[in-house]
């Protein structure tokens, strides 16, 4: 116990002391992105006569429910989905990891995470102005994507906290059944600080639409925004920030920690596809809050994101089981559940930018590429990614991010890019140009997460050790790590 507490103390010391400001460089671009920074409660001085915007009760209620739905995705949704996929002797260990990692990240989010992700500082990191939620009151407001429309800043901060928590919880599936509990917590704390927060800042931070009135103000907002926001990357709800980011960390962990004892020689089949199906269903339901809520207000774009989440997931489920039936002769429940998650991942970056037919194509592509990711690609990579975190979240996140650039085009039924100077959709949209921007965001996220993850895993291994002993692994982590079992026979 003393060793565990000491390791956490060392980890928190590293976290709170390690973030440094970086030089600010940001080219101009007309873009609409997923999550704005908190906006000032008062109107600009030039518009002092105009009343300050106040939150609409409907938008606030909508965002509160969306936040609850994302919590539902994580606990119990993701926990049950993962728990059903492992062997019965490790069921509680997975539930425990998802539950406690989420709890840890919620606390770190208030202490420093929100400030580093969603305040100004540099193109890569925010500042420390809102450590411990300093300065945020019930009257503080955050910007949405509509001028003059705001929500309570507490609501925005809580919603974003749920994204941070599920992202870190996703990672644990890649090295399930063999990792120390203390190592999971210490790794997630370090990775959250140096990978999740910077990527979220790079993709989602800006000053909000009310700060843009003309070309000069757009240039000012762009110069102060996150690095990938400024380049014009489109990520409505977290294709890069959440799924690719987490999947790369999981894959690196699978390589560094090594394969499970008996991998490839012993049966490691899921112990309860019933629970996996329940978990996948809760993920699908919760994902409506994840995607529609990322619009930050209850309007037609939120409705579009909702519809796209519905049909893309359905299309991916059908595509996955069709491919499975063609390849193996039978469609499986595991395939249907995995296909649904693949579709949810693929549509995440695109859900507010594409039309329903584009969503169906993206979902179907996610289903087919995800099926390849957990079979052919997994064999090529040679890693023991226990619950196929990279095969689904990584592959489908990349597919979705790139196809966002294609199907966001107005000519293909998308919304295009909103011009806050003209207050209308931009007349100019280049599919090729946007896909290249999307590719840059994908590559940046992969490299950033991979480097941070490798360093973090090595550091954790030095401090507390990554793996349990072979004896403990064979006994099962439920007993060896937590002293309890999921089932009593």
Reference 102, options 83, 75, 80; nearest CA is 75
Question: Burial code of 429-444, b = ≥16 C-beta within 10 A, e = fewer?
Answer: beeeebbebbeebbeb
Per-residue pLDDT at 44: 47
Per-residue pLDDT at 381: 97
Is 28 a residue whose pLDDT tops 70? no
Q: Which residues pair with 150 in a beta bridge?
A: 143
The position carrying tokens 């305040």 is: 119
Sorting pLDDT into bands at 50, 70 and 90, what band is 87? very high
> Cβ–Cβ contacts within 10 Å for residue 426, how many?
16
Structure tokens that stand for 443 in this block: 């590559």
Per-residue pLDDT at 478: 98
- Record the pTM: 0.90
What mean pLDDT do residues 440-461 have? 98
What backbone phi and psi angles, to 5 degrees, belong to 12?
A: -65, -35
What mean pLDDT do residues 96-117 have? 98
Per-residue pLDDT at 35: 39
The burial of 384, by beta-carbon neighbours within 10 Å (0-12 exposed, 13-18 middle, 19 or more buried), is given as: buried
Give pLDDT tens digits for 59-84: 999 999 999 999 999 999 999 999 99
| More confident: 329 or 489 | 329
Residue 104 · residue 325 · CB < 8 Å:
no
Sorting pLDDT into bands at 50, 70 and 90, what band is 43? very low
Give pLDDT tens digits for 179-230: 999 999 999 999 999 999 999 999 999 999 999 999 999 999 999 999 999 9
Residue 180 · residue 253 · CB < 8 Å:
no
Q: Mean pLDDT, the chain, as a whole number?
A: 91
What mean pLDDT do residues 41-68 have? 79
Residue 93 and residue 482: Cα distance in Å, rounded? 7
All residues at 6 or more sequence positions from 137 whose CB lies less than 8 Å from its CB, including other chains:
none
DSSP state of 489: -
Residue 29 and residue 126: Cα distance in Å, rounded? 20
- Grouping H, G, I as helix, E, B as strand and the rest as coil, residue 386 is coil
Give pLDDT tens digits for 129-174: 999 999 999 999 999 999 999 999 999 999 999 999 999 999 999 9
Residue 24 · residue 123 · CB < 8 Å:
yes
What mean pLDDT do residues 38-45 have? 43
Rg (CA), the chain: 22
Is 475 a residue whose pLDDT tops 80? yes
Percent of the chain predicted with pLDDT > 90 = 88
Residue 84 and residue 80: Cα distance in Å, rounded? 6
Sorting pLDDT into bands at 50, 70 and 90, what band is 49? low
All residues at 6 or more sequence positions from 378 whose CB lies less than 8 Å from its CB, including other chains:
385, 388, 391
Residue 377 · residue 327 · CB < 8 Å:
no
């Amino acid at each position: 116990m003393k060793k565990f507490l000491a390791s956490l103390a060392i980890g928190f010391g590293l976290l709170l002391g390690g973030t440094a400001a970086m030089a600010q460089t940001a080219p101009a671009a007309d873009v609409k992105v997923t999550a704005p920074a908190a906006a000032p409660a008062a109107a600009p001085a030039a518009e002092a006569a105009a009343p300050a915007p106040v939150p609409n009760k409907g938008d606030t209620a909508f965002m509160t429910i969306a936040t609850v739905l994302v919590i539902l995705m994580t606990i119990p949704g993701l926990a049950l989905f993962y728990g059903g996929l492992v062997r019965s002797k490790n069921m509680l260990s997975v539930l425990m990891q998802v539950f406690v990692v989420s709890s840890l990240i919620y606390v770190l989010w208030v202490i420093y995470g929100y400030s580093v992700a969603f305040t100004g500082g540099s193109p890569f990191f925010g500042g420390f102005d809102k450590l411990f939620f300093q300065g945020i009151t019930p009257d503080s407001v955050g910007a949405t994507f509509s001028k003059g429309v705001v929500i309570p800043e507490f609501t925005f901060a809580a919603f974003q906290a749920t994204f941070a928590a599920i992202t870190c919880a996703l990672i644990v599936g890649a090295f399930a059944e063999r990792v120390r509990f203390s190592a999971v917590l210490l790794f997630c704390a370090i990775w959250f600080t140096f990978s999740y927060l910077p990527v979220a800042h790079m993709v989602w931070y800006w000053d909000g639409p009310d700060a843009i009135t003309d070309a000069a103000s757009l240039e000012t907002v762009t110069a102060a925004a996150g690095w990938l926001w400024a380049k014009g990357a489109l990520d409505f709800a977290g294709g890069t920030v959440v799924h690719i980011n987490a999947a790369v960390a999981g894959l690196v962990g699978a390589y560094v920690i090594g394969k499970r004892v008996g991998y490839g020689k012993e049966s490691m089949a899921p112990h309860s596809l019933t629970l996996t199906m329940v978990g996948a269903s809760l993920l699908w339901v919760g994902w409506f809050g994840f995607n529609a809520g990322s619009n930050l207000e209850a309007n037609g774009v939120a409705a579009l994101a909702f519809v796209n989440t519905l049909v893309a997931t359905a299309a991916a489920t059908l595509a996955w089981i069709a491919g499975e039936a063609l390849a193996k002769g039978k469609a499986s429940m595991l395939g249907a559940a995995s296909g649904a998650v693949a579709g949810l991942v693929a549509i995440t970056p695109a859900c507010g930018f594409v039309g329903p037919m584009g969503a169906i194509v993206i979902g179907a592509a996610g289903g087919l590429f995800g099926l390849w990711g957990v079979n052919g690609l997994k064999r090529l990579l040679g890693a023991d990614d226990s619950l196929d975190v990279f095969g689904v979240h990584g592959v489908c996140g990349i597919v979705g991010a790139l196809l966002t650039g294609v199907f966001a085009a107005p000519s293909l039924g998308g919304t295009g890019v909103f011009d806050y100077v003209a207050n209308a959709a931009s007349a100019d949209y280049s599919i090729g140009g946007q896909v290249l921007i999307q590719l840059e965001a994908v590559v940046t996220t992969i490299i950033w997460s991979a480097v941070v993850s490798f360093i973090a895993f090595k550091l954790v291994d030095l401090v507390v050790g990554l793996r349990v002993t072979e004896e403990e692994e064979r006994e099962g982590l439920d007993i060896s790590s937590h002293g309890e079992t999921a089932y009593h026979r």
